[in-house]
Structures are given as structure tokens and as C-alpha cells.
Structure 1
Amino acid sequence: MARDRTPADLIGHNVLDQEGHNVGKINQVYLDDNTDQPSWVSVHTGLFGRHETLVPLQGSQPAEEDIRVPYDKSTVKDAPHIDADRHISPEEEETVREYYAQHGGPPVQSQIAAQEGRHVAGEGPGPQTAAPSGAPAGETDDVSVTRSEERVDIGVERRESGRARLHKYVESEQFDETVPLHHEELQVDRRPIDDPSAVPRDEQMGESEESFTLYEERPVVSKEQVPVEEVHVRKRGVTHDEHVRGERRRERIELEDEEGEPPTTG
């Protein structure tokens, strides 16, 4: 924490978390008894009520007019609350210190004295106001709250839905064809000779023999491989619509008084 900032410089300014989000406004400043430097601050983290949250300044950094502490907003808001109208007891201080040590912060070793403004040297730990006259410390005329909601982003993912293989195999089938076949046969024709004088007599009577070769056709099956068809397989993309249902959260802001009822507005 910068040492050139006085308690009066801090009161009324904002405490920012480690991401720069506004946690709340500083209402009180607590000084170290030994160094007289700001050691803790109390912050209003709600709209109503008299309870405040203690935040250690150890490890904090100035952020223009505000200060940034090394904790997130939820850690500060969930810290033990204190009563804004009285001093902090050593037991309360120890409880708060242990809480921040458990949430990643360094333990604060020094004792603190409750101050709402500047610690005057030699006067001891007595409170003095550092707020403008007539204006209670830590109170403002307006409060802003950021409302958030979840935004749904529906995407698509590509995943395997199945596999296909192009497999070629051989199968046998029976065929039945009719083939015309030709063969030779002997046919004997006997013709009587009416005029013997017309027949030459060179041939002598005796035995003789003539031979004939007969031919016939038989079916012969031969096979050859010939291409008969070409098969092409390719993938194609198909798009279809699918209805997606779900649930998303959003914040709602309501204003209420100390009794939990909606306040009367003019």
C-alpha cells in the first residue's frame, strides 16, 4: 500500500478486487499501532444494514483514486462482518485475519486501532471523522449494481458415427444354355441299274472296302475374365436440424429495506 495516502484519502473511495471489479466503498480506516499507517479498511458490501466487512490492506495497490486488494470479490463479501458502531475486539480481528490467510492472503500480524479518519500522533487510538461535515462516512447518494446473465453458445462437434467397407468377393452361379451341335451320319442310297451297258466293266468282281471319317461337334466351355461394371463410392455431407433444449441462469435485482420489504419510492 502506498505510504503517501492518508486515511482521509481512502474514505469514500472504492475497494477493487484482484480482477478490478468493484467490491464496495470504504467506510472506516484502521491504523497500525506501531507504524501509524492504514492497515485495514471496512467496506459496505450491501445496499442496506449496519454491518461491514473488514479487508486487510497488506498486499494492496493504488488504482487511481481507489485501491486494489489481492482477493476476489466473493472472498471479500463472504468475510466475517463487523458492527460499524463499535471497535473491533482482538478476537474478532483474529477471526478475520485467519479467514483471509485461508483464502490465499498473508496473515496480518500487527494490532489495529479503529479509526474513521486521521490518527493524531500522541492522542492514542481515538476516532476522528475524515468525512465532509454533515455527510456520514461511506454513504453515497446512488448505488449501481451490475446484473449478469448466462449467454448460451450452441456449437457442433464432429464425431464418428459408423464405418463402411467396400469389399469385393467371388460367388458362383449355375448357367443353362442351349448350344446347337452338328454331327455327321452315314446315309445309304440304293439305286437299281436299268441299263447294264451303261456301267463300265473295269471293276472285277471281288471284295472291296471303303472307309469314311465321321465328324461331330461337342460343347466346349471356356472362360475368360472381362470387366462388366465399375462401382464408385464416395462420402457426402447431409445437414439436418435438431432441436436443443436447456437451461440458463440470469440475475434479477430487487430493492428491499431492512425488514426485507420493497421500499417506498417517491
Structure 2
Amino acid sequence: MPDLDTVLAWRGKAVLDRDGEKAGTLGALYLDEDDRPAYAGVQTGLFRRRESIVPLDGARPLDDDVQVPYTLDQIRSAPNVDADVNLTDDEQDQLAAHYGEPTKILEGDTGPEAEMVRSEEEVDISVAPAKPRERVRLRKHTVVEQVETTVPVRREEIRLERDPPPDGKIVDVEDA
């Protein structure tokens, strides 16, 4: 049976019967007690006003559509159930009796020895300490370049200038 995320992605897609004929559009979903998708509503008829309930066991994606292993007549003649409430045990029994066991949809060889191989992948996610992969070193080098350039230089100079005293008189510095 397909998982919930897969079936949620199918909503609004065309539903094909086992022979590839369009039966309607996938609508409401019905989950079992383990919250797995068990049934789906298929909107059929003019203006999609009628909804037939179909088991999702054996449903599979086919291009952009969903194919179920039941005939178009089985889908259209399914027992009427209220699509707005949960399915009762009695309604589930009626649907199971109506549809019976799903017919296997086989691709390719359908002879008496036809096979299908089922495989699944399991992902193991664990957190382990990081392992060193390589050793790196960071070294700093100083590079000196000889450059000749003209730079304006400004400086201040102090000069001592001597002038003779006025009136020709010489003054001794110690007397002053």
C-alpha cells in the first residue's frame, strides 16, 4: 500500500482503472487505524458530483495518473457511502465484499510464471566524530620589494643669525 505522502501527492490526479480507462479524479482520503491510506474517493460522473470509494491496495502511479487494480464498472458501482464522515466497520465490509481481492497489475509478461521483484532501500543515518583527511599548514612569509620613488620631504630648520647692537655698543651677555 502506498504511504501517506505519496497518496497526498496524488490528490487531483486522474484515476485509471486496471485497463487504463479514466474513472475519475482522486479526491478524499480515508486512513486506517494506523494512519495509513486505505481508501480514496474517486470523483466520477458529470461535474464530478458523485464520489466512489476505492481501496488503495495495489494502486500505483502511471505517468501523471494513478492506476487502481479494479475495473471501471467496479468503481462506478461501488456501494454509496457518506464521503464526509469516517467509514464505519459495516461500510468497510461492504466495500471489501464489493471489490474483493485486488487484481494484480503486471507490466510486461503476464503468463503463468510472471514475476515482480520488490526492493527497498534503507538509509542508516548516524553521527560519528569527524576523522582527519589531510594535514595542512599555514605559513606567513614577508616579501620585501625594492621600490624607487620620489617623495616630497618637508622639514623645519632653525638658524641663528647675529646682528650688531644698535649705537655700536657691545653688550656683554653676563652683564645683561
Matching of residues 179-194 of structure 1 within 5 Å: none
Q: What do the CA deviations read for 1:59-84 (whole angstroms, capped 9, x no partner)?
A: 12211232211111111111112222
Q: Is the 8 A contact 2:15 2:42 kept in 1?
A: yes
Task: Output aligned runs, 1:1-266, within 5 Å.
Answer: 1-3=1-3, 5-34=5-34, 36-48=35-47, 51-101=50-100, 104-105=101-102
How many residue pairs get matched?
A: 103
CA distance in 2, matches of 1:11, 1:92: 22
SS in 1 for 2:81: strand
Supply the distance in 2 between the matched residues of 1:65 and 1:47 (Cα, whole angstroms).
22
One-letter amino acid matched to 1:33? E
Q: Unaligned stretches of 5+ in structure 1?
A: 107-266
CA contact (8 A) 1:55 1:76 kept: yes
Cα deviations across residues 80-115 of structure 1 (Å, max 9, x unaligned)?
Answer: 1222232222111111111111xx537xxxxxxxxx
RMSD: 2.2
- 1:132-161 residue CA offsets vs partner (Å, 9 max, x unmatched): xxxxxxxxxxxxxxxxxxxxxxxxxxxxxx
Find the aligned partners of 2:11 and 2:32 in 1 and give their Cα distance.
16
What TM-score do you get using the length of structure 2 for normalisation? 0.51
* Aligned mates of 1:75, 1:99 — CA distance in 2: 8
Conserved? CA contact 1:2–1:62, under 8 Å? no
Matched with 2:129 is none
d(CA) in 2 for partners of 1:4 and 1:53? 20
CA distance in 2, matches of 1:38, 1:44: 17
Task: Give the % identical residues.
Answer: 35
List runs of 5+ in structure 2 lacking aligned partners. Answer: 104-176
Secondary structure of 1:28 counterpart: strand
Could you tell me how far apart the structure 1 residues matched to 2:60 and 2:86 are? 26
Q: From the CA coordinates, give the structure whose radius of gyration is larger.
A: 1
Say if 1:8 and 1:2 are closer, same or farther in 2 by CA, change over 3 A. closer
